[in-house]
Amino acid sequence: MALSDLRRVFVQCMKEVGAKLSKVIDYEVPNTTISTLQIAYDLYNDLNREEEIIEYNDSIIENPAFVPSGNTLKVLAE
């Protein structure tokens, strides 16, 4: 009985926490090669979020100064 109660509380807690998290969306790189700094500025008006973009897409981004067109990156919606 206690395990069942624990499971119910855990599931409810995860729903509440999950609702507060930012959503991950796809970002299509434009038809030109751009930098992750430019992407951070275009999406968030915040150059400090460049590292976040690089971390989410480390398998795609070989050089942060040159993100080739035709790639789809994972970024936070907000």
Render pLDDT for 46-56 as a digit per residue (tens, 0 to 9): 999 999 999 99
Read off φ and ψ for residue 28, nearest 5 degrees.
-80, 120
What pLDDT is stored for residue 43 in this prediction? 94
DSSP element (H, E) containing 25: strand 24-28
Enter the pTM of the model: 0.73
- The one-character DSSP state at 26 is E
Give the CA angle between residues 15, 21, 22 to the nearest 5°.
140
What pLDDT is stored for residue 28 in this prediction? 93
Rg of the chain, C-alpha, whole Å? 18
Q: Please identify every stretch of the chain with a pLDDT value under 70, giving residue numbers as ranges.
A: none
